[in-house]
Amino acid sequence: MPMSATSYINGLGRYVPPRAVSNADLEKLVDTSDEWITARTGIKVRHIAEKGQPSSDLAYEASKRALEHAGIEPGELTHVLVATCTPDSYCPNTASMLAHRLGVGTPMAMDINAACTGFLYSLEIARSLLCTYPDAKVLVTASEVLSSRTNWADRSTCVLFGDGAGAAVLTNKPTGELPFSVGPMQLRSDGQYADLLTIKGGGSATPYTLGETVREDFFITMEGREVFKQAVRNMASLCKELLEKAGMDINDVDLLVPHQANLRIIEALGNRLKIDRNKVFSNVQKYGNTSAASIPIALTEGIEQGILAKGDSVLVTSFGAGLTWGAGLLQA
């Protein structure tokens, strides 16, 4: 039986590194054009971390803002989760680095790798922790430095991604200006499509030996067309299933906040769900695909811009490597 306690997101924060890379900048790197990138993806700009700037650094900035927004001191946190597929290192985990830098003390600290669906997976885990420990205060941060695993010679992938972080603070009591209750969620995976989107090289299945030069498989590789189809199909069907189980109609949703991978995917999803265009949030134009960070960045921006307000029912959905995908309902 699913748990009955209600968990709340009491604070949100976001951070992207200052260095903005435009489509014109990419024209100097690979054989591409602003026209092609805009028409195929909607992306105009993405932010890129400094070389060697780790995910925990971006996570720290976003987390500080989320904690401030929630009115919670780092020392009060009991659990720190970091959703990332670009951790600071293979081992130790990024969550321990983040917790230490924030001055949390000695919390349970854990990384979660579900690629772009990592934030939704982490919310579900945070909620489970809050059910077991009702007084817990859980920090969920999603942080990615995808630029560290981007093949800057591959025009089919390097134009798509960006770096960034988003964070949320969860407790079982609503506090702060705009708490969101975390409603029903559906999370899925299907490993039969693992090869469609990978960062394989250097893993235990494809190890390197000392002195060996990294191969192309060290970086993001993707079958773009197939990923596109799977993304639209899976997010749309899971959103429909979630709404039906919740006894809701798409017209009951005030805002759809989908994973920000590609404007065409977002539009196709909106069409399949038959949701009013004005109710679909997008900021992929400014950040590209920031993987796990994309939904918390979007939620934070939605609040900052007044697009997301008290009383709103928010449908969030995401999709990524694994394959993994998910959908959830938040109530502001």
Work out how close the CB of 192 gets to ligand COA at its nearest, in angstroms, rounded to a whole number.
Answer: 17
CA dist., res. 144 & res. 186, Å (int): 23
Question: For ligand COA, which residue has the nearest CB?
Answer: 224
- Extract the tokens encoding 320: 């990524």
Q: Which is nearer to ligand COA, 101 or 155 (CB)?
A: 155
Nearer to ligand COA, 96 or 157 (CB): 157
In DSSP notation, 244-299 reads HHTT--GGG-SEEEE--S-HHHHHHHHHHHT--GGGB---HHHH-B-GGGHHHHHH
To the query of whether residue 289 is one of the catalytic residues in this protein, the response is: yes
Write down the least CB distance from residue 226 to ligand COA, Å.
8
Catalytic residue among 85, 116, 158, 239: 116
Determine the Cα–Cα distance for residues 322 and 169; give it in Å rounded to an integer: 26
CB of 147 to ligand COA, least distance (A): 15
- Identity of the residue, 155 or 240, whose beta carbon is nearer to ligand COA in the bound complex: 155
Distance, CA of 64 to CA of 274 (rounded, Å): 37
Residue 116 or 329: which CB sits closer to ligand COA? 116
Point out which residues bind ligand COA (CB under 6 A).
32, 36-37, 40-41, 116, 155-156, 159-160, 222, 224-225, 227-228, 231, 261-262, 265, 289, 319-320
- Shortest distance (Å) from residue 11 CB to ligand COA: 26
- 8 A C-beta contact, residue 314 and residue 332: yes
CA–CA–CA angle 306, 309, 310 (5° rounding): 155
Of residues 119 and 319, the one with the C-beta less far from ligand COA: 319
Active site residue 158: no
Which CB atom, from 29 or from 309, has the smaller least distance to ligand COA?
29
C-alpha distance from residue 299 to each of 27, 135, 254 (Å): 31, 25, 13
Could you give the CA distance from residue 121 to residue 115 in angstroms, rounded to a whole number? Answer: 10
State yes or no: is 91 an active-site residue.
Answer: no
* C-alpha R_g of the chain: 19
CB 154, min distance to ligand COA, A: 8
CB of 186 to ligand COA, least distance (A): 17
> Cα 16 from chain centroid?
13
Pair 65, 166: CB distance under 8 Å: no
DSSP state of 122: H
Hey, which residues are catalytic here?
A: 116, 259, 289
